[in-house]
Amino acid sequence: MRGTGKRDKCACGSNKPYKQCCGMPAKVVSLAQFRWQQIGQQLRRKLGEFADQPFFAREAARAQQLYMEKLDPELIDQYDEFIMERCFEWFIFDYKLSTGETVIELFQKNPDLSGQEKELLKGWSSARISLYEVLDIPPREGLVLQDLICHTGMTVYDLNAAQELYTGMVLFMRVLKVGETYEFSTSGLAIPASCREALLERIRDDLKTYCRERGISIREGVNSYLKSRACLLNTWVIEMGLSYILPDMVSNNRKDCTPVKLDGDLVSDQITHKITNDFLDDYYDCWLDHPQSVFNGLTPRQACRSIEGKERLKEMLRELEQTEIEREHNGEPAYDFQKVWRKLGLTSGRINKREATLSLVKNEVPDDYQWPFPGCLMVARQVQEDLKLRGYNRQQKGSALRLWHDYCWLERPSFRKSAVWVATVIYAMARLELDRKVNQHDLAARYGVAPSSISLNFRNLCRTLGLVAFDRRYSTHRPVFPGPDGDYPLLDRIWKKLKL
């Protein structure tokens, strides 16, 4: 019979070996464990309702302030549901109330709790959020995890998470014991294996400092460290996820290409170029046959059939090709845009490289732009001078001008003091370019303005232009990880909400 041998593919169509699929022994579900799971679900609800009582309002507000101040205020929206869910979970498990207790410790004193509920709470109150590596994902059995800080192992029964993760990923979550199994406390963060060592090294150094200052051993201090540093670790994981995410697709054995540094990881020129071309090949294949509002709902192929549509399309293609020439000019991976011209049957799109280079120079000269007010030009000149001193390249300075120019014509800002807007645009570019050496306080001191003014203007700028991380209009960086339907859906839950 086909599909019953040890190495035969299962007949169900899963493409897995039979012994690892339908041939696996049936798993007996313990009624006792099922009962524990029901009690655990009810207890979570009771605990959440208890923490949401009005008499905790002042403490909850203070906890939220402490939690959010660890995060960059322009990075995360404080009203984001995902962030607030994690903040509330931290408030319950780790935040120390004015009484010196946590919410969950106070809840344990409830005389109406059953013996089983008390037993669960005893373990939950000491559960700390930590880093876990996914070691294995057995079929229909959940996730086999290794605590990278406490060096303990466990299996978490969460089939939904198992479908979204792969072995090697690092999770930042709290794990709760429910009966004989483990469950995740709430939604968590996931980052790829390439971030593991850099993040662990940072945590180990901080843990050693924490224990040394208190005169205790690491074994004695690790639990209190994870409790008191939970907010800080959360910030580090988010920052690491944004700055260092890179799929493990580079072999250390390659000797036929020279590696270059990209966001802290080594990746070869050839592989980076291949990633760029493969991604944009797929992107433009879809774009050519997707209705575009600029062509009144026609696709680029359809628009190409009329004289008016063809001219408008050519103008757009020249602008897109100019972007690729800018990348090539700055030594970055660039796409061969002639492929798009050929797919449309057009041959008049080749841009003279010398003319393109002159255009690049023009793009970073403020006086070549039209400005609604003289003060806007003054800001543009000062921004260019500052970015030049900071070592920003030609493309980055050109992007800064386009950003400020777009904002000026959309918002028509009037102001008497240009310094605050100079600082704001520089800060915006620093965020777009992942330049962590620039912060609001240093800029405020340099230009003699208040940090709050920079923050306010920055929010207005983000709102007007709809700026997001890795904004394709102004940022020279591109996220290396896949989008919302890619390989990191857990991280995408927070990625979708990211603000600058």
Question: Is 22 within a domain?
Answer: no
Amino acid at 94: D
Each residue of 184-210: pLDDT tens digit?
988 778 877 777 888 899 999 999 999
pLDDT number for residue 360: 44
The answer to whether 434 and 243 have CB atoms below 8 angstroms apart is yes
Residue 21: inside a domain: no
272 lies in the same domain as 384? no
Same domain flag for 234 and 284:
no
Lowest mean per-residue pLDDT among 129-143, 293-307, 464-478: 464-478
pLDDT at 331: 61
Residue 120: pLDDT over 90: yes
> What's the pLDDT at 329?
63
Across the chain, mean pLDDT equals: 76
DSSP labels for 151-210? --EEEE--HHHHHH--TT-EEEE-EEEETTEEEESS--EEE-GGGHHHHHHHHHHHHHHH
Q: Are residues 355 and 375 in the same domain?
A: no
The 10 Å CB-count burial string (b at 16+, else e) for 345-366 is eeeebebeeeebeeebeebbeb
Would you place residue 5 in the very low, low, confident or very high pLDDT band (cuts 50, 70, 90)?
very low
For residue 263, pLDDT over 60 is answered with no
Structure tokens at 285: 């294949």
Q: What is the pLDDT of residue 19?
A: 52
Crossing angle of helices 394-411 and 307-329, rounded to 10°: 130
What DSSP string runs through 1-54?
-TT-SSSSBPTTTT-SBGGGTTTSPPPPPPHHHHHHHHHHHHHHHHHHHHHTSG
SS3 label, residue 494: helix
Beta bridge partners of 266: 261
Same domain flag for 440 and 378: yes
When pLDDT is averaged across residues 234-245 and rounded to a whole number, the result is 68
Coil vs helix vs strand at 135: strand
Task: Give the Cα separation of 475 and 473 in Å (integer).
Answer: 6
CA 31 → CA 37, 91, 124, 329, distances in Å? 10, 33, 22, 67
- pLDDT score for 275: 60
pLDDT computed for residue 251 by the predictor: 31
For the chain, give the percent of residues with pLDDT over 90.
24
Q: What is the mean pLDDT of residues 63-85?
A: 68
Query: What is the average per-residue pLDDT within 331-338?
Result: 73
**Listed residues 243, 271, 298: the one ending a domain:** 243
Quick one: which H or E segment has residue 81?
helix 81-93
Mean pLDDT of all residues in 323-330: 66
What confidence score (pLDDT) does residue 124 get? Answer: 94
Here the CATH number for the domain that contains residue 381 is: 1.10.472.10
Question: Containing domain of residue 446, as a range?
Answer: 370-480
> Smallest Cα–Cα separation from 149: which of 210, 83, 67, 100?
210
Q: Are residues 109 and 208 in the same domain?
A: yes
The reply to whether 288 and 393 lie within a common domain is no
Do 328 and 409 reside in the same domain of the chain? no
Residue 296, domain member (yes or no): yes
Q: What is the pLDDT of residue 267?
A: 40
Higher per-residue confidence, 103 vs 68 = 103
Q: Express as a percent the part of the chain with pLDDT over 70.
A: 73
Statement to judge: residues 468 and 381 lie in one domain? yes
Q: Are residues 128 and 201 in the same domain?
A: yes
- Looking at the fold, whether 235 and 302 belong to one and the same domain comes out as no
Specify if 489 maps to a domain: no
Q: Are residues 103 and 82 in the same domain?
A: yes
Which pairing describes strands 170-173 and 189-191: parallel, antiparallel, or unpaired? Answer: antiparallel
Question: Where among 243, 271, 300 does a domain terminate?
Answer: 243
What pLDDT band is residue 43 in, cutting at 50, 70 and 90?
very high
57 assigned to some structural domain: yes
The closest alpha carbon to 164, from 450, 418, 485, belongs to 485
Q: 335 and 451: one domain?
A: no
The pLDDT of residue 163 is 67
* pLDDT band for position 491 (cuts 50, 70, 90): very low
The pLDDT of residue 152 is above 80: yes
**Nearest of 369, 351, 440 to residue 407 by alpha carbon:** 369
* Within-domain flag for 252: no
Number of compact structural domains in the chain: 3
Which amino acid is located at 353 in the chain?
Answer: K
pLDDT score, position 413: 82
Q: Can you list the alpha helix ranges (DSSP code H) found in 344-475?
A: 353-363, 374-389, 394-411, 419-432, 440-447, 451-465
C-alpha separations of 444 from 94, 401, 448, 450 in Å: 35, 21, 6, 6
Question: Which of 43-57, 342-356, 376-390 bottoms out in mean pLDDT, i.e. has the lowest?
Answer: 342-356
pLDDT for 2 equals 36
The answer to whether the beta carbons of residues 498 and 258 sit under 8 Å apart is no
Q: Quote the DSSP letter at residue 497.
A: T
pLDDT over 90 at 382, yes or no:
yes
Confidence band (pLDDT; 50, 70, 90) for 357? Answer: very low
pLDDT tens digits for 408-451?
Answer: 988 888 777 889 999 999 999 998 888 878 888 889 889 988 87
